[in-house]
Amino acid sequence: MMLPTHVLVGLALALPVAVAVPEHADIALTAGLLGGLIPDLDMYIGHRKTLHYPVYYSALAAVAAPVAALAPTTATIAAAMGLLGAAAHSVMDVFGGGLELRPWEATSSRAVYNHYHDRWLAPRRWIRYDGAPEDLVLSVVVAVPLLFALEGTLRMIVGTAVLIGVVYTAVRRLLPAIAEVLIAGYLLQAIPDHMLARLPARYVPEYVE
């Protein structure tokens, strides 16, 4: 699923905590947002493997959540919401598309790496691919209560996430062709082999093979 969806879900998961413990609302919401975002920082360094931990994030969140409920402090709430957001992100990607350049073709059997079992989890494709229309619908549905409940900077972040999601959905199917043109027309000639080897295989299959 696309990053705006993950960020919005992270915020939505933290919203009940922000309401229940208003003195820690800012840290809960910020941690939820960051938890939803951070796994995708591995986009070009082993995407959905380096920072995606569906089992470990979930296990840690299951421990951190009751600790935060029993002893609500800045640290415990930040840890619980951050882990919950990261766990939700990692698990949600299993229900999306695979890692291929054009995930709507459904050719990849890899969705998210399960470090606990040392194997890739297959994509369920409930959301066919990141940026699919149903992905945008999910983002909007999650965003609506956030827009009513939040204010200030966080409300602006929610609105911006929805706008980015709309634009990304509109251009999503064009991006692989653009990437191929840029890589074939520039990167293959312009950057050293050791740097080219770091690009995900889906962008330069001929090179990787």
Per-residue pLDDT of 23-33, as tens digits, reads 999 999 999 99
Task: Give which of 131, 49, 137, 31 is closest to 86, Cα–Cα.
Answer: 31
pLDDT at residue number 184: 60
Would the pLDDT of 195 be above 80? no
Predicted structure pTM score? 0.89
Q: Could you count the other beta carbons within 10 Å of the beta carbon of residue 107?
A: 12
Would the pLDDT of 205 be above 60? no
Model confidence pLDDT, tens digit, residues 76-124: 999 999 999 999 999 999 999 999 989 999 999 999 999 999 999 999 9
**Do 99 and 111 contact (CB within 8 A), yes or no?**
yes
Task: Give which of 181, 140, 134, 128 is closest to 164, Cα–Cα.
Answer: 140
